[in-house]
Amino acid sequence: ARGALSRADLIRDKAYIDGKWLEADGGASIDVDDPFTGEIIGRAPSVSEDQAKAAISSAEKAFPGWAKELTRHRGAILRRWFELVMDHQEDLARLITLENGKPLKEARAEVAYGAGFIEFYADEAGRIFGETIPSPVEGRRLLLEPEPIGVCAAITPWNFPLAMLTRKAAPALAAGCTMVAKPASQTPLSAYALAVLAEEAGLPPGVLNVVTGKAGMIGGLLTASSAVRKISFTGSTEIGAKLMEASAPSIKRLSLELGGNAPLLIFDDADLETAVETALVAKFRNSGQSCIAANRIYAQKGIYEKFLAAFAARVDGLVLGDGFDEKSDIGPLIDEPGVAKVREHLDEAVEGGAKVLAGAGASDGRLMPPTLLRDVAPDALLTREETFGPLAGVIPFETAEDGVRLANDTPFGLAAYLCSEDPATIARVGRAIESGMVGINTGLISTAVVPFGGVKMSGLGREGSSHGLMEYLNLKYLCHAGL
């Protein structure tokens, strides 16, 4: 059958609390649909307040033991978890396509990317080192000892349902923290499948709990609880700001990976092939539903026409369809409001003078044709809001200074991209762009070994790399006197 898994028990309809699989109180559930067919493919539990509180208590109860566990034991469990994820990579990819809609080849890439965090932090667990600081006075030894911060909450979005969770859970567990995870209601199944494999890997009960249900209720309990010491959130700036406000009374640590509005700057001296490839990947990967998607493409006057012609040919060649069809490049969007937003951005840009170079035909259900617009007005809606769909708008610019000014004209700053063959332009513009990450001659920048995160209203903190581990540790300073 469509989306059938070789291990059907990876699909769960129960919450994972304190190492037990529990039906929601009263049997409440959330329907999960297949974005391509619109059919219900699973049910996730909608937990009660008591159950959400039980998840927090179980993480609290499990914390002291997990924090004390030898780092190499924590690392070994993460390593087994990584191996189990890789053993089941095809099933997990099918599950992602089933609940999210993305093409299978992209779902497979997500599993590899997501597993990369577990692998990286399995090794990193054994490298949580302290420091000694030479004392400015005699007879003292000054020590720094990293300690896990406690119970952490992870709230994750639907666009990368597996990787957004491993990116938070792996460093948290490696550091010795315990976790309550709340995946998005549209795509809860991947998170529960990860929990099945974590349990098989030998993760003790309560170390990782997964609950789904009313986001406001669960988010409210997680932020209000003084036991929860940190919230790690990936999602909209609006909800991120709410969580930050709700976390203020209990002074929680926060990692927020919020909206982006990434610019791509293509300079006259760019290599044409590289520029087209960069634009294609940066815009259309995940059907445009990525927080680092190039939302605004600026091409310098001298390359503008050549770039548009070559880019249009590639956009025309993108295959729209069922994620389970191996030929598909672009799958359905997550839901109808997602399609409506892309169409609104398209219509507004065309009213403002933009011309259609490719796509723009009628949408079919949640299938939105990959579309390319030229001569987009610099203040078009699609340059100000995240489009989150397969719509590329190209805007001409004159000088490098103009390009940088346009790129920075946004309250967001997650990713940015630039294409140029001139080292001086690359160095200058790379520095001048206000963003947490810069892709230079590439639209593919994410991997577990680098710190991912934004500046300005795109968020706080970094995920991935050894820097991502520090987000789950406190540095205790011990001052040993009288020596």
306 binds ligand ADP (CB under 6 A): no
Which among 88-96, 179-187, 404-412, 459-467 is the span making contact with ligand ADP, rule CB under 6 A? 179-187
239 binds ligand ADP (CB under 6 A): yes
Residues 6+ apart with CB under 8 A from 462: 255, 436, 451, 452, 453, 468, 471
Give the nearest residue (CB) to ligand ADP.
Answer: 219
215 binds ligand ADP (CB under 6 A): yes
Report how many residues bind ligand ADP under the rule CB under 6 A: 15
Among 29, 57, 89, 236, binds ligand ADP (CB under 6 A): 236
**Phi then psi dihedrals of residue 173, to 5 deg:** -70, -40
Ordered DSSP codes for 147-163: EE--EEEEE--SSSTTH
CB under 8 A, 24+ apart: contacts of 269-274? 269/420, 269/421, 269/422, 269/425, 270/303, 270/307, 270/419, 270/420, 270/421, 270/441, 271/419, 271/421, 271/441, 272/303, 272/306, 272/307, 272/310, 273/310, 274/419, 274/441
Which among 54-62, 135-143, 231-239, 403-411 is the span making contact with ligand ADP, rule CB under 6 A? 231-239
Asked if residues 67 and 176 have their Cβ atoms less than 8 Å apart, the reply is: yes
Among 161, 206, 219, 461, binds ligand ADP (CB under 6 A): 219
231 binds ligand ADP (CB under 6 A): no
**Nearer CB in complex with ligand ADP: 219/403:** 219
Report the sign of the C-alpha dihedral through residues 100, 104, 108, 109, in that order. Answer: negative
Residues 6+ apart with CB under 8 A from 56: 151, 180, 221, 222, 225, 227, 228
Q: How far is the CB of 232 from ligand ADP (least distance, A)?
A: 11
Q: How far is the CB of 386 from ligand ADP (least distance, A)?
A: 9
Distance CA 407, CA 417 (A): 10
Both tokens assigned to 51:
């159950």
Among 97, 156, 255, 295, binds ligand ADP (CB under 6 A): 156
235 binds ligand ADP (CB under 6 A): yes
Among 141, 242, 343, 428, binds ligand ADP (CB under 6 A): 242
Among 64, 216, 353, 365, binds ligand ADP (CB under 6 A): 216
Distance CA 355, CA 396 (A): 13
Residue tagged active-site, from 257, 277, 386, 434: 257
**Nearer CB in complex with ligand ADP: 212/410:** 212
Q: In the annotation, is 257 catalytic?
A: yes
Which among 4-12, 80-88, 214-222, 296-304 is the span making contact with ligand ADP, rule CB under 6 A? 214-222
Tokens 């649909």 appear where?
Answer: 33
Distance CA 358, CA 284 (A): 13
Q: Which of residues 181-200 bind ligand ADP (CB under 6 A)?
A: 182, 184-185
Catalytic residue numbers, as ranges: 257
Instruction: Catalog residues that contact ligand ADP under the rule CB under 6 A.
Output: 155-158, 182, 184-185, 215-216, 219, 235-236, 239, 242-243
